[in-house]
């Protein structure tokens, strides 16, 4: 097996992964076992439209919240928390302190 070299690492929202898998399926005619399992998962959990998702990501980036990383923004969009406690739960995994008013601003963008 050839050695793979990582050129770029970038977080992708679930809907974008779903679209890439659909393109691969169109190109190859079918997906392998693992790709089919991922597609089944994405069919259930990737419900947003790609344009809307990218708009939400840009709006949250435009808030200029200190220490908020792109990976966290993508995770927030994918999960779509509806309240402050849910949003805190999403952010707690990376131990990033975010002020209460910044959390409220993020929730306003998600509405």
Say yes or no to pLDDT of 96 above 90. Answer: no
Say yes or no to pLDDT of 85 above 70. Answer: yes
Say yes or no to pLDDT of 1 above 60. Answer: no
Query: Which carries the bigger pLDDT value, residue 94 or residue 37?
Result: 37
Each residue's pLDDT tens digit, 6-65: 888 899 999 999 999 999 999 999 999 999 999 999 998 887 788 999 999 999 999 999
CA angle 42, 48, 50 (to 5 degrees): 95
Say yes or no to pLDDT of 99 above 80. Answer: yes
Query: Which carries the bigger pLDDT value, residue 94 or residue 17?
Result: 17
**Single pTM value for the model:** 0.81
Instruction: Quickly count: other Cβ atoms within 10 Å of residue 76's Cβ.
Output: 22
pLDDT of res. 48: 78
Which string of DSSP letters, residue by residue, matches the chain? -PPP---------HHHHHHHHHHHHHHHSS--HHHHHHHHHHHHH--S-HHHHHHHHHHHHHT--TT--HHHHHHHHHH---SHHHHHHHHHTTT----HHHHHHHHHHH-
Which string of DSSP letters, residue by residue, matches 47-67? -S-HHHHHHHHHHHHHT--TT
100 exposed, middle or buried (CB, 10 Å; 0-12, 13-18, 19+)?
exposed
pLDDT of res. 78: 92
């Amino acid at each position: 097996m050839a050695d793979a070299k990582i050129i770029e690492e970038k977080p992708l929202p679930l809907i974008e992964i779903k679209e890439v898998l659909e393109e691969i399926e169109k190109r190859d005619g079918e997906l392998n076992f693992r790709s089919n399992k991922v597609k089944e998962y994405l069919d259930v959990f990737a419900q947003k439209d790609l344009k809307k998702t990218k708009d939400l990501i840009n709006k949250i980036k435009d808030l200029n919240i200190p220490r908020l990383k792109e990976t966290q923004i993508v995770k927030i969009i994918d999960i779509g928390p509806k309240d402050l406690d849910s949003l805190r739960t999403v952010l707690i995994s990376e131990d990033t302190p975010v002020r209460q008013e910044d959390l409220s601003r993020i929730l306003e963008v998600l509405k």
